[in-house]
A and B are shown apart, each in its own frame.
Chain A
Amino acid sequence: MRQLLSRTAGLSREDKGLLCGLPIFVLTVLAGWVVWRLTADLDSIEARLITAGNITQMTWDHVQIVVVSSVLVVGLAVPLGTLLTRPALRFFSPPVMAVANAGQAAPVIGVLVLLALIIGFGFGTAVLALSLYAFLPVLANTITGMRGVDQAVVEAARGMGMSSWQVLLRVELPMALPVIMTGVRTSLVLLVGAGAFATFIDAGGLGTLIQTGIIMFRYPILVSGAIFVALLALMVEWVGRILELFLKPKGLA
């Protein structure tokens, strides 16, 4: 906790506000929803679907999809972005960026269904489709971040006798990290939102509530699903910010 405090010391007031405000807001909305659930007059279908157990299960499925997809995205987009900033491969970066742009521009639901038809329904397909969708921000920010590293510093590091790998791992990546992390946060939030579509291909998640609500004309179910997706997105954003705070090298302003 003390480390957290020392890390927050350099933040702007706005950032500090978000850091404290987000969890408070999420808890408040959650409490409001609980009060509503305990007092509202629900019919049997609604009462059967909107239970703590159900929602916990769906949230858990949703989180799994998001976590696995984001690990996949970060694990692929950061190395790829890094490769594309190496002098020898730099010329590859426009076409790859174009593909990544297309990946994000294509409607996620379309990609999801198309992939499901080709490789089958379920968790794996959902993760794959969502990863394609959320790939761009991490890739683009990795490239921007790496390009933004002061070349004089890189050259100084080489001049000290660091190998290319050492320069990459100990200088370039740490210095590009703040920009990369911003991309990761954006991707995480995109993933939570798009994760709601996973239910269409039997991969579960909070989207199930929304879809059921629509099909059965049950607004309480629909709205509950939407609220939980939104809350999850906010929490993920918050976790991303905390991660950013801890991963960011200390000496950077």
Chain B
Amino acid sequence: MNQTTATAPDGSGAQLELVDVVKKYPGQSRPAVDGLSLTVPAGQTVMFVGPSGCGKTTSLKMINRLIEPTSGQILIDGEDITGQDATQLRRSIGYVIQGGGLLPHMSVAENIGLVPGLLGWDKARTKGRVEELLEMVGLDPAVYRDRFPRELSGGQQQRVGVARGLAADPPVILMDEPFGAVDPITRQRLQDELMSIQEELQKTIVCVTHDIDEAIKLGDQILILREGAEIAQYGAPEEILAAPADDFVADFIGSGSKLKQLSLLRVGDLPLSQPQTCRVGESVDEVVRRVEAAGERSVVILDAQNRPKEYLFLRSLKRHQTVPVFSHELQTVVDQRSTLSDALDAMLVSSHGGAMVTGGSRGDYLGVISYDTVTEHIRTLQTQTGQIRAVPSAGWEAS
């Protein structure tokens, strides 16, 4: 068995290289992919974008040889895969498609455990892995394990599709419009989840999308293609936004590219303000005294685990003796990895002109991002036209 490319020992990404790859379908006058050369560094996410029919899917499927290249080389970790056994190869490359592509007659657990099963893992190990992955994509194993795909919502099917792609811990993962079939809110949530998964796993991901905003949000690199999979521009999102290579690229990223930079910047990139805080259970009188002494009118309430529970005006708090427990779902909290666009959405529902920011896996409170900070930043962006480099961002920039 030829499985040299399978799993990098540490389970993280592998370098992917395409060298002058050509695909000419029978009867086509011009190749669908006409000499594509590209290097994707290990552990990075590359987004393929371009007009319909430009050869994105064809390029992607040549990497796992669902489509055989007419000529050219494809190297994973320096090894040419075009001569390898295609079936074995595919077991070592994750594949996620639009809608999930789940096998309808297999349960969620069977779908996710498919590749481990093909690789001959024992039952117990596969079972453990399935549970782990369901947790990772935010589905309760006890509830969803034995369901069939048709018993899931579109978003849930897509989550299972992502889990299935990750199942055997492949170094390279291919995604073809993975979130194209779900509604915008679910899509945003799935994107956020993928980002946090990727932050942990550092896979090499090649992802095709129609949505330039998705490309900007998820990509370490964006590859903009035109007809025949000819590279129009290949670079980091901030480079492409700041300096589109030509009119084609400029048209493609659209006129709102200044505002698009809001999807490029993470909340953690901007300075956070630190309003007064208090703990659940503290005496209200004391809190009021402290906050008023600081000259403020509202206070952030934290629980014992340092998670934000509410952002309250003092006059509302004064109705209580001690700081009460709040258990409702907050809409005004964003993760520090969220984009500024996401943060603006959260601010719109806040009466304080700011959103509480959390970080880390347990959602620790970090501070508040205020509307003024964001608008101030937009103004700076507008004045330094074309000069923008992203502020070094927390954790997202691939290492």
Contacts and interface: CB of A to CB of B under 8 A. Distances in A.
A95 B239 CA distance: 60
Nearest to B174: A159
Nearest to A163: B87
Given A153-B103, A250-B148, A251-B150, A161 B87 contact: yes
A253 B208 CA distance: 31
Contacts of A150: 104
Contacts of B97: 152, 156, 159
A166 B107 CA distance: 17
A80 to B, nearest CB: 23
Interface string B82-120: 000001111110010101011111110000001100100
4 closest Cβ pairs, A-B complex: A161-B91, A156-B101, A251-B148, A249-B105
Interface of A: 150, 152-153, 155-163, 166, 171, 174-175, 249-253
Contacts of A249: 105
26 contacts: A150-B104, A152-B97, A152-B99, A156-B95, A157-B103, A159-B66, A159-B97, A160-B90, A160-B114, A160-B115, A161-B87, A161-B89, A161-B115, A161-B118, A166-B118, A175-B104, A250-B105, A250-B148, A251-B103, A251-B105, A251-B106, A251-B107, A251-B148, A251-B150, A252-B105, A253-B150
A155 B91 CA distance: 14
Given A155-B66, A161-B118, A251-B106, 16 more contacts: A155-B101, A156-B101, A156-B102, A159-B90, A159-B95, A160-B90, A160-B115, A161-B87, A161-B88, A162-B87, A162-B118, A166-B118, A174-B105, A251-B103, A251-B105, A252-B105
Nearest to A162: B118
Contact of A160 (B107, B118, B149, B150): B118
Contacts of A166: 118
Contacts of B95: 156, 159-160
A147 B275 CA distance: 65
Contacts of B103: 153, 156-157, 171, 251
A174 B105 CA distance: 8
A160 B114 CA distance: 8
Contacts of B101: 152-153, 155-156, 159
A251 B66 contact: no
Contacts of A159: 64, 66, 90, 95, 97, 101
A160 B164 contact: yes
B104 A153 contact: yes
Contacts of A158: 66, 90
Nearest to A249: B105
A155 B67 CA distance: 11
Contacts of B89: 161
A161 B104 contact: no
A163 B95 CA distance: 15
Contacts of A174: 105
B312 to A, nearest CB: 49
B3 to A, nearest CB: 11
A161 B99 CA distance: 19
A154 to B, nearest CB: 10
Nearest to B97: A156
Contacts of A253: 150
Interface centre among A152, A162, A174, A249 (most CB of B within 10 A): A162
A243 B66 CA distance: 36
B149 A161 contact: no
A81 to B, nearest CB: 19
